[in-house]
């Protein structure tokens, strides 16, 4: 059921009359609900013409926009499909904006309205193309975004540069959503340690730079363990390398946490010898021993090694990893902060990387959050595991919905 919005939400819904209307700020602050309601009102009253809902992918559009609206709209007024949705009898296209190629999906369109989700995650070129498509009389764009870096193109070229009547924008924080349970707010704040990048952006709603350590919430005393309880299941996460180090992680999963129990780390440059796929596969078999493995998660670029593993481990499913870097970093950060991720003391390379992984300061001037591509091979393997497996079930999946 849809809750009645608070005063700020109500004002933003009423005032969403500019060509560009953008809700930005912290997670779970009611900005999305406000934008959705304003969008439905616009669709019901806007001039004739094509309409569009767009986000990073079609899946995120369905998860963040379509599914929530479907819960509180009558079926006769809201009929979702995979590539489009019917709202009040009007067809609305659904398009993903995952990379630069997405421009081709909207080239040639002439739109009267568009609703955007997670704007800061889009390519700038896609956003510019979308605005050029909104050319009919009375056309409007409505969109939401979480904060990013202070030099992000959306902040510099639009939020800071444009003023009413061309742009109406609203900044939301957790305090603007009075319907959040206090227990949930406490849990959410626990996921993001005060002073960290994610707390500043997703709790305080600030457009701030990524500086220093990527995992600045890492604490040897809290995360490193001498012993651990038996796991419910085990998986193998692999970051494959020939010139670069090759890493295997044995990861045990229980109902409420994961433990990196053991690591394999081979640096061919230090050893002076490159191993073949067959040699790595043999090492992996020795690394696993008699432990039952539920699934192997593999670097998606390692095609030849995948073929080798399928021959040598025919009874173990092998999946390409989800290699979403920033989403993966956020997920691992949340698991660390909530103490649901532990690392056995024998995993010396992974422990060392947690303390050495830093943001690329030069990329910040371009509005990009990019880690320095060093000391990250074990961390990449761990991120693959979290994004590919843990993001599909349990509380980590819930966390991703909020960011």
Residues 245 and 360 in one domain: yes
Q: Does residue 369 sit within a domain? A: yes
pLDDT digits (tens, 9 = 90+) for 282-340: 999 999 999 999 999 998 889 999 999 999 999 999 999 999 898 899 899 989 988 89
Per the domain annotation, does 189 fall within a domain? no
Q: Within this chain, do residues 70 and 173 fall inside the same structural domain, yes or no? A: yes
The stretch 1-18 carries a mean pLDDT of 80
Q: Is residue 306 part of a domain?
A: yes
Domain membership of residue 208 (yes or no) is: no
Whether the Cβ atoms of residue 36 and residue 156 lie closer than 8 Å to each other:
no
Q: Does residue 58 contact residue 95 with C-beta atoms inside 8 Å?
A: yes
Check whether residue 111 and residue 233 sit in a common domain: no
150 and 263 together in one domain:
no
pLDDT value of residue 31 = 93
Q: Can you give the CATH number for the domain in which 153 is found?
A: 3.40.50.300
Residues 149 and 283 in one domain: no
- Write the DSSP assignment of 296-335 as a string of letters: EEE-TT-HHHHHHHHHH-TTS-EEE----HHHHHHHHHHH
* 197 within a domain of the structure (yes/no): no
Residues 38 and 173 in one domain: yes
Residues 174 and 247 in one domain: no
Are 177 and 41 members of one domain?
Answer: yes
Q: Is the pTM of the predicted complex or chain greater than 0.85?
A: no
d(CA 371, CA 319): 25
Q: Which domain holds residue 71?
A: 7-181
Task: Give domain status of residue 240, yes or no.
Answer: yes
- Residue 280, domain member (yes or no): yes
- Would you call 201 exposed, middle or buried from its count of C-beta atoms within 10 A (0-12, 13-18, 19+)? buried
CA dihedral 173, 175, 180, 185 (to 10 degrees): 80
Nearest to 59 by CA among 94, 85, 99: 94
pLDDT in tens, 339-393: 899 999 999 999 999 988 888 877 877 778 888 888 899 999 999 999 998 754 3
Confidence of residue 220 (pLDDT cuts 50, 70, 90): confident
pLDDT score recorded for residue 396: 36
Residues 144 and 278 in one domain: no
Instruction: Convert the pLDDT of each residue in 265-285 to its tens digit.
Output: 999 888 888 999 999 999 999
Q: Is residue 161 part of a domain?
A: yes
Are residues 244 and 173 part of one domain?
Answer: no
Q: What is the pLDDT of residues 137-160, one digit of tens each?
A: 999 999 999 998 888 899 989 999
Q: Are residues 33 and 151 in the same domain?
A: yes
Answer yes or no: do 146 and 289 share one domain.
Answer: no
């Amino acid at each position: 059921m849809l809750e009645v919005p608070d005063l700020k939400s109500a004002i933003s819904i009423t005032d969403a009359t500019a060509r560009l209307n953008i809700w930005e700020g912290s997670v779970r602050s009611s900005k999305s609900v406000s934008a959705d309601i304003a969008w439905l009102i616009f669709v019901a009253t806007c001039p004739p013409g094509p309409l569009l809902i767009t986000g990073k992918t079609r899946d995120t559009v369905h998860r963040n926009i379509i599914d929530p609206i479907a819960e509180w709209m009558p079926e006769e007024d809201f009929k979702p499909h995979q590539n489009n949705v019917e709202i009040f009898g009007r067809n609305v296209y659904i398009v993903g904006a995952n990379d630069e190629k997405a421009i081709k999906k909207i080239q040639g369109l002439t739109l009267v309205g568009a609703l955007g989700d997670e704007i800061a995650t889009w390519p700038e070129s896609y956003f510019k193309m979308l605005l050029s498509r909104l050319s009919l009389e009375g056309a409007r764009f409505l969109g939401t975004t979480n904060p990013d870096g202070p030099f992000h193109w959306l902040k510099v070229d639009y939020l800071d540069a444009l003023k009413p009547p061309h742009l109406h924008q609203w900044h939301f924080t957790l305090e603007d959503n009075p319907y959040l349970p206090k227990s949930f707010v406490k849990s959410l704040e626990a996921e993001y340690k005060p002073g960290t990048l994610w707390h500043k952006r997703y709790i305080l709603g600030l457009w701030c730079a990524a500086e220093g350590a990527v995992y600045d919430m890492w604490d040897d005393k809290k995360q490193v363990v001498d012993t651990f309880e038996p796991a419910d299941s085990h998986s193998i996460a692999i970051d494959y390398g020939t010139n670069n180090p090759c890493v295997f992680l044995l990861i045990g999963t229980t109902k409420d946490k994961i433990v990196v129990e053991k690591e394999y780390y081979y640096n061919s440059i230090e050893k002076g010898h490159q191993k073949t796929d067959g040699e790595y596969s043999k090492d992996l078999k020795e690394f696993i021993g008699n432990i039952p493995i539920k699934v192997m998660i593999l670097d998606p670029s390692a095609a030849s090694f995948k073929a080798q593993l399928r021959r040598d481990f025919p009874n173990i499913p092998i999946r390409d990893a989800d290699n979403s870097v920033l989403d993966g970093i956020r997920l691992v950060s949340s698991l660390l902060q909530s103490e649901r991720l532990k690392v056995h003391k024998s995993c010396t390379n992974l422990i060392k990387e947690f303390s050495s992984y830093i943001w690329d300061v030069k990329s910040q001037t371009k509005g990009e959050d990019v880690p320095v591509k060093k000391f990250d091979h074990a961390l990449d393997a761990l991120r693959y595991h979290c994004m590919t497996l843990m993001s599909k079930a349990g509380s980590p999946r819930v966390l991703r919905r909020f960011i």
